[in-house]
Amino acid sequence: MTERAAKDSRIRSGEPRGQDQQGQCVALRGEILTFLADPEYPNGDLNPDAWQHWSDGLVICRNGRIEAIGPADQLLPLLETDCALHDVRPGLILPGFIDTHIHFPQVDVMASYGETLMGWLNQYTFPTEQRLADATIARETADFFLKELLRNGTTSAVVYGTVHAHSVQAFFEASEALNTRMICGKVLMDRHAPDGLRDTAEQGERETRKLIETWHGRGRQQVVITPRFAVTSTPEQLRSAGNLLREYPDVYLQTHLAENRHEIETVRGLFPEAQDYVDVYDRHRLLSPRSIFAHGIHLSDRERERLSQSGSQVAFCPTSNLFLGSGLLDLAGLEAAGVTTSIATDVGAGTSFSLLQTLAEAYKVTHLQHQRFSPVKAFYRITLGNAKSLGLEAQIGSLAVGSEADLVVLDPEATPLLARRMQRCQSLQERLFAWMMLGDDRAISSTWVAGRCLHRRSAEPRKKEPTA
Ligand code: GUN
Ligand code: ZN
């Protein structure tokens, strides 16, 4: 057999070539979709120059980064012999998904019955977060959580720990071992929370500072300053969070905003001098292009305007908003006002780790308000769109040469229903819509982090793929 013929037979069989254990060189052959820009014009027309799509493509990753991408027939002859080749056809290769708002300690709160925000926090969430006072539980929960993200194709996330600094330490240690790009923060909460879950403004600042100095920019780990929300932080603590945000110019800030009407009334009572909820955060200098506000459902025009001016973003969490009965986010209204938006699960009020399921619920929430939520834009949102909202588009969210090699492979035949529905689809758009409406963790056949396969779905109904 010639070298070329040997290569082709390996490609057909899906056998790995070379070795990729060190993440040195690995190539995936399959259908590929990646975005260059927002694919939707403001009038809803699609811009076909905003994405790249190869029905038979090859993406080559070396030392954890994308080295080359293009049509398989052009790139295969150039493949170095040290490169492990994985044939994932008929899978669709995408950049790894990004979740901009999620709580790792809340995996054990998911699916807790019958409450709205404040009752849910008091009855289920705070007691669960109290358990992470035990560092062993924190570590085990972080490990489980990260595995669950990868099972769902999510390779980066903006994550809440608990008030215990060791929970974030445990999270970063687990993430560093996997080499996932994660952004995590210690919850700041110095009032209106039960014993064992309160810090003080001084302690919160000291512990956050220490986490920043230890972890921010160490490998792929980054820190986010995390006042839980205005209800559970004194003005002194919010001021301290604002000071930290100015002091560390590439650290993020996250909190919750205008999720629930009762919450908004409580905030009004606690901060009578503020014009509205956004103004509470504004007065403490928490608005910035690095600030992520979860929910933002019940906002006035003035509040939207101020979020837009400051470059702050709203994380849309549809499964959570439906589960807690919080309301329907006016996504189009926010975007028309110039507010940056991202999309997130908000586990544990969110009901799924799957960003595919999150897109399905986002479609329904916007559809109820007669808004467009096209499948191409939807997949842009969970990849490059979310990366851009975090200013991380040079690192993650696309398969551009030089990007970090985080990838996900979607299986069009993940379930009998999906396989059947896919056969009727006539365009990429139709197939993307079927994946987001009918897909979940079962549709993720493999997840790759910095060029290494960290998840491969075990019950592979179609064929057995090689383990990396
Ligand atoms: N508001 C304050 N804390 C939380 C939380 O943990 N989850 C949600 N959904 N909203 C919050
Ligand atoms: Zn949340």
Q: What is the pLDDT of residues 298-320, one digit of tens each?
A: 999 999 999 999 999 999 999 99
Which tokens sit at 157? 């996330």
* Cα distances (Å, whole numbers) of residue 247 to 241, 252, 283, 299, 326: 10, 11, 17, 29, 34
Give the list of residues 6+ apart from residue 370 with CB closer than 8 angstroms, or none: none
Q: What's the pLDDT tens digit per position in 66-87?
A: 999 999 999 999 999 999 999 9
The correct CATH number of 103-389 out of 3.30.1330.10, 3.20.20.220, 3.20.20.140, 1.10.8.50 is 3.20.20.140
285: confidence class by pLDDT, cuts 50, 70, 90: very high
Question: Measured between alpha carbons, how far is 228 from 162 in angstroms, rounded to an integer?
Answer: 9
Which tokens sit at 2? 């010639």
Which tokens sit at 325? 């009965």
Question: Measured between alpha carbons, how far is 367 from 388 in angstroms, rounded to an integer?
Answer: 25
- Tell me how far the alpha carbon of residue 345 lies from the centroid of ligand 2, in angstroms: 9
Q: Is the pLDDT of residue 19 over 70?
A: no
C-alpha R_g of the chain:
22
pLDDT confidence of residue 1: 33
Q: Name the percent of the chain lying above pLDDT 70.
A: 93
Question: Measured between alpha carbons, how far is 78 from 59 in angstroms, rounded to an integer?
Answer: 12
pLDDT confidence of residue 21: 45
Q: Is the pLDDT of residue 221 over 60?
A: yes
Q: Is the pLDDT of residue 410 over 60?
A: yes
- The answer, as to whether pTM is greater than 0.85, is yes
229 lines ligand 1 (CB under 6 A): yes
342 lines ligand 1 (CB under 6 A): no
All CATH 2.30.40.10 domain ranges in the chain, comma separated: 3-96+397-456
Higher pLDDT pick, 55 / 24: 55
Q: E strand or H helix at 315, and its extent?
A: strand 313-316
The stretch 372-397 carries a mean pLDDT of 98
Q: Is the pLDDT of residue 463 over 70?
A: no
Please, are residues 446 and 150 in contact by the beta-carbon 8 Å criterion? no
Specify whether domain 3-96+397-456 bears CATH 1.25.40.10. no
pLDDT confidence of residue 8: 37
Which tokens sit at 124? 């289920």
Q: E strand or H helix at 202, and its extent?
A: helix 201-215
Atom of ligand 1 nearest to the CA of 160: 6
103 lines ligand 1 (CB under 6 A): yes
- Tell me how far the alpha carbon of residue 103 lies from the centroid of ligand 2, in angstroms: 6
Please, are residues 452 and 62 in contact by the beta-carbon 8 Å criterion? no
Please, are residues 226 and 255 in contact by the beta-carbon 8 Å criterion? yes
Residue 313 CA from chain centroid, whole number: 14
**DSSP secondary structure letter of residue 221:** E
The stretch 379-387 carries a mean pLDDT of 99
All CATH 3.20.20.140 domain ranges in the chain, comma separated: 103-389
pLDDT confidence of residue 459: 59
Question: Measured between alpha carbons, how far is 436 from 429 in angstroms, rounded to an integer?
Answer: 11
- Tell me how far the alpha carbon of residue 229 lies from the centroid of ligand 1, in angstroms: 8
Q: Is the pLDDT of residue 397 over 90?
A: yes
Q: Is the pLDDT of residue 13 over 70?
A: no
Q: Is 311 helix (H, G, I), strand (E, B) or coil?
A: coil
Q: What's the pLDDT tens digit per position in 117-140?
A: 999 999 999 999 999 999 999 999
Q: Give me the amino acid identity at 304.
A: R
pLDDT confidence of residue 465: 52
Please, are residues 370 and 343 in contact by the beta-carbon 8 Å criterion? no
The stretch 438-443 carries a mean pLDDT of 98
- Ligand having the closest approach to the CA of 158: 2
Q: E strand or H helix at 141, and its extent?
A: helix 135-151
The stretch 370-378 carries a mean pLDDT of 98
Atom of ligand 1 nearest to the CA of 350: 9
pLDDT confidence of residue 143: 98
Which tokens sit at 316? 């849309």
- Ligand having the closest approach to the CA of 351: 1
Which tokens sit at 274? 């503020």
346 lines ligand 1 (CB under 6 A): yes
Going by alpha carbons, the residue nearest to atom 3 of ligand 1 is 228
Q: Is the pLDDT of residue 460 over 80?
A: no
Q: Is the pLDDT of residue 290 over 70?
A: yes
Q: Name the percent of the chain lying above pLDDT 90.
A: 92
349 lines ligand 1 (CB under 6 A): yes
Higher pLDDT pick, 9 / 162: 162
* Cα distances (Å, whole numbers) of residue 395 to 61, 109, 262, 417, 462: 14, 32, 39, 35, 32
Q: Is the pLDDT of residue 16 over 50?
A: no
Question: Measured between alpha carbons, how far is 192 from 187 in angstroms, rounded to an integer?
Answer: 13
Q: Is the pLDDT of residue 416 over 90?
A: yes
Question: Measured between alpha carbons, how far is 243 from 159 in angstroms, rounded to an integer?
Answer: 21
Question: Measured between alpha carbons, how far is 72 from 108 in angstroms, rounded to an integer?
Answer: 44
458: confidence class by pLDDT, cuts 50, 70, 90: confident
Mean pLDDT of the residues in the chain:
94
Q: Is the pLDDT of residue 14 over 50?
A: no
466: confidence class by pLDDT, cuts 50, 70, 90: low
- Tell me how far the alpha carbon of residue 180 lies from the centroid of ligand 1, in angstroms: 25
Residue 61, strand partner residues: 26, 66
Which position has the token pair 């960290």? 454
